[in-house]
Chain A
Amino acid sequence: MHIPDGFLDLPTAIAAGAAAVAGIALGLRDVRRNLSPRRVPLIGLAAAFVFATQMLNFPIAAGTSGHMTGAVLAVVLLGPGAAVIVMTAVLVLQCFMFADGGVTALGANVLNMAIIAPAVGYVVYAGLRRLCGDGQRSLLFAAGFAAWCATVAAALACAVELAASGTVVLRSAVMAMGGVHMVVGLVEAAITMMVVAVVIRSRPELLDRSQRVEHGVPATVAFGAVATIGVLVFVSPLASSLPDGLEHVAHKLGFAAEAATPIAAPLQDYAVKGLVDQPWLGTVVAAGVGVAAAFAMAWLMARMLTRHALHARR
């Protein structure tokens, strides 16, 4: 999901960069407030941990294998602010040391994978935990479903940024990225749940406790705002398949010249003809099926993992 150099135009890159800087500032503030200096080295080492676990291979089928991104794992283990810092550091190192992800696209990459993914993940995770209670099973379930939501949200944000740069057509990018990452998200969710289960079983006290500590009102509002942006990104494809939603906004904002490239126009028509008469219906159904599948998988795996733990204790 790392966007390389040369795929984003300048306005998009700058806008994404500004949003990323704002997100990092919020993350830093949260860490300074809620984390004792004793935990500062842990953030640095946890970044190395996330980077290392990204290199663990999980075989899927026919020689392919997946790995995890670790955004929600960091949220569950360290808390939302620290997760933002950890993921930012990982992305910066990947960009500057391994040329993975472009320099001009660093802002967008940080926004997708280090701000939107942890923020969406945190909101889903915290919300589900408040709904389902404090048990181990609900914790695992919340972590898994949050990991899936975070992956899909980051992918959709990536598609929107590419489309805003005129690199790709919005609808096909959203379909391609969203569709693929609905499946990738299942892998991410499964791995996240399994790793969290291992940590709970051996050292439950290591899990982030800040969820119990009530956040102040500004922090809640800030995270709510970031999550809203994430949700907007999630909903905007639906809106745009209603008559010209995003393009309309683009016109209003005045960067329509860049956004609506002449190449983009033919496929817009093609997509409308190629799909059902009401393409938004297909999108909604597909998204609904994806969410349901992720929900069911997270729930089943949470049951399985906790039952396993009971057996082990006996």
Chain B
Amino acid sequence: MLREQLLSPYQPGTSPVHRLPAGSKLALALVFILCIVLLPPGSWLAFAVLSVALVAAALGARVSPRQLLVRLLLVEPLVIGVALLALLQPGGWPLFLSMLAKSTLCLACMLLLTATTRFSDLLRVLWRLRVPSLLVTTLALLQRYLFVLLQEMERMQRARRSRSFHDGRASTWRGSAQVAGQLFVRTSERAERVYLAMCARGWKS
């Protein structure tokens, strides 16, 4: 339940931020992130101003702050991990702190974008920008079937757990590999059905 929530970042709403066209929202977010990236490390005043702007946008979008925070905290460890590499330099602390601030701001911006924009709308923007159709189709199918496959995987794991008594490390590895392999078999069978369904609806590559 929690994971489902985490996997679907979009929070429906009718705020002005939600109603902005996806293309301009994407462009705004990219400009914002580019600004942050181009700022020299240690420009704390600019970071503060930008974060105030971001908070204002989040308030305007009326999204649940709790969900945004939880998602932010989930990704933050990865950022800290990369930033730790900066500490390998002597006197790396200030650099480390401003890197952390920079990437946290960028993360928050992306999270706000995905919370207020449907992924399918973003795909439509990509389509209009003439990204190759094979890539857009792949992205659309990926987003559509990710949940389906995750649920299928969960069912297979539940079935395996209910049949096995001991859960040692080796058996977990074997079991997980079995689940992944069988998932691929089922995926390719499903892809065949999807192909037929797409053809039936007039799809041409």
Interface set of A (CB-CB < 8 Å, partner B): 2-8, 10, 13, 24, 28, 31-32, 37-49, 51-53, 55-59, 77, 85-86, 88-90, 92-93, 95-100, 102-104, 162, 167-169, 172-173, 176-177, 190-191, 194-199, 201-203, 206, 263-264, 266-267, 270
CA distance A57 to B167 in the complex (A): 13
Cross-interface CB contact of A58 among B173, B181, B187, cutoff 8 Å: B173
* A103–B114 touching, CB < 8 Å: no
Contact with A along B50-61 (1 / 0, CB 8 A): 000000000000
CA distance A201 to B99 in the complex (A): 48
Tell yes or no: B79 within 8 A of A by CB. yes
- Ordered by A's residue number, 13 sampled pairs between the chains whose C-beta atoms are within 8 Å are A4-B107, A5-B102, A40-B205, A45-B190, A49-B184, A52-B149, A90-B142, A102-B33, A103-B33, A194-B174, A198-B178, A202-B185, A264-B89
Q: Beyond the given A103-B30, A176-B85, please list 8 additional residue pairs across the A-B interface where CB-CB is below 8 A.
A: A5-B37, A42-B195, A44-B142, A48-B146, A58-B172, A195-B184, A206-B185, A267-B88
The residue in chain B whose Cβ has the minimal distance to the Cβ of A55 is B150
- Most B CB within 10 A of own CB, among A77, A96, A98, A100: A96
Chain A residue contacts of B178, Cβ below 8 A: 198
Tell yes or no: B132 within 8 A of A by CB. yes
* B135–A52 touching, CB < 8 Å: no
Chain A residue contacts of B46, Cβ below 8 A: none
Tell yes or no: B127 within 8 A of A by CB. no
Taking residues whose C-beta sits less than 8 angstroms from the other chain, chain B's interface range is 35 or more
* A102–B106 touching, CB < 8 Å: yes
Interface of chain A: mostly helix, strand, loop or mixed: helix
Tell yes or no: B182 within 8 A of A by CB. yes
* B75–A49 touching, CB < 8 Å: no
Contact with A along B165-205 (1 / 0, CB 8 A): 00001001110111111111101101110110010000001
A285 to chain B, nearest CB (A): 21
Given known pairs A45-B145, A53-B180, the reply for A85 and B110 (CB within 8 Å) is: no
Contact with A along B131-159 (1 / 0, CB 8 A): 01011011111111110111001000000
Given known pairs A4-B107, A40-B137, A97-B114, the reply for A263 and B142 (CB within 8 Å) is: no
Tell yes or no: B71 within 8 A of A by CB. yes
Chain A residue contacts of B1, Cβ below 8 A: none
Chain B residue contacts of A176, Cβ below 8 A: 85, 88
* A28–B34 touching, CB < 8 Å: no
* A198–B180 touching, CB < 8 Å: yes
Given known pairs A5-B33, A195-B181, A199-B184, the reply for A44 and B78 (CB within 8 Å) is: no
CA distance A8 to B34 in the complex (A): 11
A137 to chain B, nearest CB (A): 17
CA distance A305 to B194 in the complex (A): 33
Cross-interface CB contact of B103 among A41, A49, A102, A194, cutoff 8 Å: A102
* A28–B187 touching, CB < 8 Å: no
CA distance A102 to B90 in the complex (A): 26
CA distance A53 to B88 in the complex (A): 33
> Which 6 A-B residue pairs are closest in the complex by CB-CB distance?
A44-B141, A198-B181, A6-B102, A5-B106, A194-B177, A42-B191
* B75–A100 touching, CB < 8 Å: yes
* B85–A5 touching, CB < 8 Å: no
* A99–B88 touching, CB < 8 Å: no
A266 to chain B, nearest CB (A): 5
Given known pairs A57-B176, A102-B103, A202-B185, the reply for A96 and B95 (CB within 8 Å) is: no
* A263–B187 touching, CB < 8 Å: no
CA distance A215 to B119 in the complex (A): 36
Chain A residue contacts of B146, Cβ below 8 A: 48, 51-52, 93
